[in-house]
Structure 1
Amino acid sequence: MPVDSDTFRTVLGQWPSGVCVVTTTGPRGAHGMTASSFSSVSLDPPLVSVCLGNHLPSRGLLDAAGRFALSFLGKDQAHIGRRFAGQHPEITDRFAGLDWQLTEGGIPVLADAIAWLDCRVAHAYPGGDHTIFVGEVTDAAMPRVTAPLLFHSRTWGQVADPLPSSLHLAVEVPPGDPLAAVLRQAGSRVRHDGSHAEFTVDGTGVLPPPAWFSAARETGSAVVGYVADAFDPAREAAVLSVLDALTALGCDEVGLTESPVKPASPLQVRRVLQDAIVRVRPAVLRVRLAGGHSLALVNALVAMKSGVAHFDTVAPGAAAGLPMDDLLHLSRQLEVPGPRFSFEE
């Protein structure tokens, strides 16, 4: 006996998916709708599928046009998803006020989508009350890098990264401090010990010359590029641009530094890290948070929930920076394995 439609829809709602806007053209111009029933089909040839309800105008238009495009939405574009899902009936022209560009196939795609595909209809199969369109991808692009928009249980959402599987520390200790040997024995890195070549990009955005990178690599040192005051809301676009530059230079690790003067808000830490962790791959992303304010451990938790596993800390009793023992206490409470030191027992 078939399951009833309400139960079936509720069950399917437990399967999270990305969100895209399907666009095509017709006698009255461009037409689009929000869809989550998208899937990749084949790599060679490149094929994708999308399912459209037979009652929808888009279904007939797409069939007649023989072409369609898919614009994948980012975490900040739920309003576009709602618009093309018909949740704003007061908007009569869904395309108005948004930035569009035409593909070579003549189909509009969102200029600031996180990715888009231009497709030729290769097959159309009946699928109950839907039609399964299989499209051959003729063009594709990724206009910007950010976390995707998700749809789950009839609600718009964002990627919520799990806590890291383990914690890795780089600790700043005074020269000659016996703690350095303990740190190394526990598998943590001691900053400024010569194993890593570090530099910081300040508000001017000036990078070291190519000769600096060549010299660092000749010594066998891992290259770490830091971005100063990385969580200032006014500098968000500039910070992300610097991250792209550091990744292009081939930095082994990229670090984001919180201002010691103006504590960052947890929301801004989350905003920046959501984009940063995607942009810097395959480099390691590390975070250097300020200590001594009430949000220090909250920001550390937000960073861990954003997928950050590498932190710069300071030795207990240091004047500035996030204390190593505070972060380790947090990791134990969250049951995230971190380095263990004999003096902790």
Structure 2
Amino acid sequence: MPVDSTTFRSVLGQWPSGVCVVTTVGPHGVHGMTASSFSSVSLDPPLVSVCLGNHLPSRALLGEAGKFAISFLGKDQADIGRRFAGQERDVKNRFAGLDWTTTANGCPVLSDAVAWLDCTVAHAYPGGDHTIFVGAVTDAALPRITSPLLFHSRNWGQIADPLPSSVNLTVDVAADDPLAGALRKAGARVRADGHCFEFSADAPPPPAAIRAAKESGATVIGYVTDAFGPGREDEVLAEVSALTALGCDEIGCAESLVVPASPLQVRRVLQDAAVRARPAVLRVRLSGDNRLALVNALVAMKSGVSHFDVVAPGSGSSGLPLGDLLHLSRQLEVAGPPDLAHIRE
């Protein structure tokens, strides 16, 4: 005996999925709808599938057109998801007011989607009250790098990142300080040792200098200054992308010493910076003068950051104190460098 539809729907609601807008063209113009029943099918040849309810106008139009496009939505596009799901009743034209690009197949895709696929229908299979369309992918693009929009239990959301398994530290401490030896032994990096080639994103060195630093065995680190300044997200993310293109081993986001960073701003920046920085390691340099410094450190960890710049006692620097971050990591049961349990705080 099949399970009842209410229970089945509730169970399926516990499976989180990404969100996309499926578009096609018909006799009266373009048509689109929100879907979460999307799946990859094959890499060679490239095939994907999407399931559309047989009662939907999109199902008939897509079948007749023999082509469709899929736009993947980003974390900031829940309003578009709701619009194409028909949840905004006052919207008469779902396509109005949005920036669209027309594919070679003639299907519209969102210009600022996280990614999009252009497809021709290769197969159409009956699937109960739905039709399973398998599309042969003819074109694809990634217009924007940002975290995806998720759908779970009838709610729109974002990825909640787990805490890292461990933190990695670069410590500002005098090279001849006895503490520096203990830090080296524990596996932390002592900044004064000079094993890093550091520079600011607004004054990058020539590529030859970066190559020479890499050949010497130095770790190349590019820093974005005032990374969490209000209204600077686009500029900061562009600088992160530029540093990635330069071939940095690590990319640092540094808090301003003048304008304290808010946890919300730290989250906004790091959630996308962590994606743009790959394959480089993303690190954070926080100000110790900010009352929310440890909150920001926690937010950074939850945003995919495990590498931090900290300052040792007596260093004279205004960064996040080493002892504070070690205390936070212990409370969160996030492993730090070994043998630092009794280090002076």
Q: Report the TM range for the smaller structure's normalisation.
A: over 0.9
- Residue-by-residue CA offset, 1:160-196 (whole Å, 9 max, x unaligned): 1100011110000024211110000000000131211
How many Å apart are 1:71 and its aligned residue? 0.1
The answer for the alignment partner of 1:337 in structure 2 is 335
Rounded Cα–Cα distance in structure 2 between residues aligned with 1:309 and 1:123: 45
Structure-1 separation of matches of 2:59 and 2:128 = 14
Given that 2:254 and 2:286 are in contact with CA atoms closer than 8 Å, whether structure 1 keeps it comes out as yes
Counterpart of 1:6?
A: 6
1:167-182 to 2 correspondences below 5 Å: 167-182=167-182
Letter in 2 for 1:321: G
- Structure 2 CA distance for aligned equivalents of residues 183 and 172 of structure 1: 11
User: Deviations along 1:92-140, whole A, 9 cap, x unmatched?
Assistant: 0000000001000000000000000000000000000000000000000
Q: What is the CA distance between 1:342 and its match in structure 2?
A: 5.6
- Give, in whole Å, the separation in 1 of the partners of 2:250 and 2:318: 22
Which of 313, 318, 328 matches 1:316? 313
CA distance in 2 between partners of 1:237 and 1:86 (Å)? 31
Letter in 2 for 1:150: L
Opposite residue 224 of structure 1, the aligned amino acid is I
What residue is the counterpart of 1:247 in the other structure? 244
Displacement of 1:213 after TM fit? 1.1
User: Which runs of 5 or more structure 2 residues have no equivalent in the other structure?
Assistant: none
Q: For 1:54-133, list aligned pairs within 5 A.
A: 54-133=54-133
CA distance in 2, matches of 1:277, 1:155: 25
- Counterpart secondary structure, 2:10: helix
| Distance (whole Å) between structure 2 residues aligned to residue 284 and residue 319 of structure 1 | 23
Alignment match, 2:148: 148
| Number of the residue aligned with 1:135 | 135
* Secondary structure of the corresponding residue to residue 45 of structure 2: coil
Structure 1 vs Structure 2 CA RMSD:
1.1
Which AA in structure 2 matches 1:143?
P
Q: How many angstroms apart in 1 are the aligned matches of 2:78 and 2:160? A: 16
Unaligned runs of 5+ in 1: none
8 Å contact kept, 2:224–2:236: yes
Distance 1:117 1:170 in 2: 42
For the structure 1 residues 344 and 222, does the alpha-carbon distance in structure 2 shift closer, same or farther, using more than 3 Å as the test? closer
Alignment partner, residue 195 of structure 2: 195
Residues 101 and 108 in structure 2, CA contact (< 8 A), matched pair in contact too: yes
1:297 counterpart = 2:299 = no
The residue identity in structure 2 corresponding to 1:235 is R
Pick from 206, 225, 230 the counterpart of residue 228 of structure 1: 225
- Equivalent residue number for residue 205 of structure 2: 208
Name the structure 1 match of 2:160.
Answer: 160
| Distance in 2 between residues matched to 1:84 and 1:343, nearest whole Å | 57
Report the Cα distance in structure 1 between the residues aligned to 2:289 and 2:243, rounded to whole angstroms: 29
Separation in 2, partners of 1:293, 1:105: 53
Q: How far 1:268 sits from its partner (Å)?
A: 0.6
Structure 2 counterpart of 1:57, one-letter code: P
Q: Secondary structure at the match of 2:273?
A: helix
Deviations 1:14-53 (A, max 9, x none): 0000000000000110000000000000000000000000
Whichever residue aligns with residue 326 of structure 1, its letter is: D
Identity of aligned residues (%): 73
Deviations 1:254-300 (A, max 9, x none): 00000111111100100000100001111100000111222110000
Q: Distance in 2 between matches of 1:332 and 1:102?
A: 52
Q: Distance in 2 between matches of 1:176 and 1:299?
A: 31
Partner of 2:38: 38
Letter in structure 2 aligned against 1:312:
D
- The answer (yes or no) to whether the contact 2:54–2:129 under 8 Å persists in 1 is yes
CA distance in 2, matches of 1:225, 1:163: 24
Q: TM-score by structure 2 length?
A: 0.97
- SS of residue matched to 2:162: coil
Report the Cα distance in structure 2 between the residues aligned to 1:269 and 1:246, rounded to whole angstroms: 19
Structure 1 residues 44-95: Cα deviation after superposition (integer angstroms, max 9, x where no partner): 0000000000000000000000000000000000000000000001100000
Report deviation, 1:218. 3.0
Number of residue pairs aligned between Structure 1 and Structure 2: 342
Q: State the Cα distance separating 1:208 from its structure 2 match.
A: 1.4
Partner Cα separation in structure 2 for residue 117 and residue 341 of structure 1: 50
* CA deviations over 1:288-331 (Å, ceiling 9, x no partner): 01112221100000001111100000002444010011011011
SS at match of 1:137: strand
